[in-house]
Amino acid sequence: MRIAKSAAACLLVFAFTVSSIEAHPKTVRISVTKKGFSSSSISAEVGSPLTLIFTRRSKEGCGNKVVFPSLGITKNLPVGKAVTVKFTPRQEGTISFTCGMGMYKGSIVAAEH
Ligand SMILES: [Cu+2]
């Protein structure tokens, strides 16, 4: 019983250690100007939480919204206000985002690490 308990405790510690090593949360700030998203290409890790903070810098252009079609996320971007989009990529590949009209384009490139 004692052995079983300590073995279980060991496993728990091991699992916790592995999971805290595996996930690398990342935060990226993105400016939205009349030229589009800056930056517009962001690398990410599969399984690690990604936080994107969009700030629209200019009333000019059409950056009043950011849309992630594959994630079903749409956020309004008031000028000068930081707007956060959070998600965890679940598979390798590209996750696109655009302005409301699809003219400004950006992409998240998720890869295994
Ligand atoms: Cu647009």
Q: What is the mean pLDDT of each run of 10 residues along the chain (113 residues)?
A: 52 51 90 96 97 96 95 97 97 97 96 92
- CA–centroid distance, residue 79 to ligand 1 (Å): 15
- CA–centroid distance, residue 89 to ligand 1 (Å): 25
The confidence score (pLDDT) of residue 22 equals 73
The confidence score (pLDDT) of residue 62 equals 87
Helices (H), the chain: 2-22
Domain housing 85: 24-111
54 occurs within a structural domain:
yes
Which CATH number characterizes residue 79's domain?
Answer: 2.60.40.420
- CA–centroid distance, residue 74 to ligand 1 (Å): 13
Euclidean distance between CA atoms 71 and 93, whole angstroms: 13
- Note whether 49 and 57 are within 8 A (CB): no
The confidence score (pLDDT) of residue 3 equals 53
The confidence score (pLDDT) of residue 16 equals 53
The confidence score (pLDDT) of residue 18 equals 54
28 occurs within a structural domain:
yes
13 occurs within a structural domain:
no
Map residue 1 onto helix, strand or coil.
Answer: coil
71 occurs within a structural domain:
yes
| Assigned token pair, 2 | 């004692």
The confidence score (pLDDT) of residue 58 equals 92
Euclidean distance between CA atoms 73 and 97, whole angstroms: 9
57 occurs within a structural domain:
yes
Q: How many domains does the chain have?
A: 1
The confidence score (pLDDT) of residue 11 equals 47
